[in-house]
Amino acid sequence: MSRLLRQIAALPLHVAADGSLEVYLVTSRGSGRWIIPKGNPIKGLTPEEVAAREAFEEAGLVGRMLDGCVGTFEFERSGEVCLVEVYPMHVDKQLRRYDEKRQRKVQRCNLETACTIVCSSALASLIQASFEQYHSQRLAMVS
């Protein structure tokens, strides 16, 4: 029987100059697969604070967290099931230097590219739904 682990992730969104929505993806340290920044809960921090910290450490992303969890997805790793809670982030900038720069690649991409290269169909579906939600709200996160 597999164990259920909880993780917290940031969905780092960026509004390009032409108004289109993009997402930042990072590679995992182990397999090099494309994912979103994520990590384990940290005692004393809210899920949004953990998500912001992961985005900062893994990709050098600075911005503000948006309201609420946009969804969850699961993946299996070494016989354990990880349930990942995803919190949206409006990215203002990416720093040139950050903790894990030499351990990961970072890519900012459009919806089609993101959904094609991420390692999980469940994550791709969550990204798709988030893009639709934020486009329908006319990108209220920019205001």
- How far is Cα 19 from Cα 68, in angstroms, rounded to an integer? 23
* Residue 143 pLDDT greater than 60, yes or no: no
Q: What are phi and psi of 48, to 5 degrees?
A: -65, -40
Residue 118 is predicted with a pLDDT of 95
Domain around 60: 4-142
Residue 133 is predicted with a pLDDT of 81
Residue type, 121: S
DSSP lists the bridge partners of residue 83 as 6, 74
Domain count, the chain: 1
Q: What is the domain-level CATH number for residue 75?
A: 3.90.79.10
Q: Are 55 and 22 in contact (CB under 8 A)?
A: no
For the residues of 74-140, what is the DSSP string, one character each?
Answer: EEEETTEEEEEEEEEEEEEEE-S--TTTTT--EEEE-HHHHHHHBS-HHHHHHHHHHHHHHHHTT-G
Considering the chain, what is the average pLDDT of its residues?
90
- How far is Cα 80 from Cα 3, in angstroms, rounded to an integer? 5
Average pLDDT of span 91-114: 95
Give the pLDDT band of residue 132 (cuts 50, 70, 90). Answer: confident
Residue 123 is predicted with a pLDDT of 95
State the sign of the Cα–Cα–Cα–Cα dihedral 23, 54, 47, 33: positive
Q: Are 106 and 59 in contact (CB under 8 A)?
A: yes
Give the pLDDT band of residue 141 (cuts 50, 70, 90). Answer: very low
Question: What would the pLDDT profile of 4-58 be if each residue is shown by its tens digit?
Answer: 899 999 999 998 888 889 999 999 988 899 999 999 999 999 999 999 999 999 9
- Percent of the chain whose predicted confidence (pLDDT) is above 70: 92
Closest-CA residue to 35 (of 15, 54, 16, 14):
54
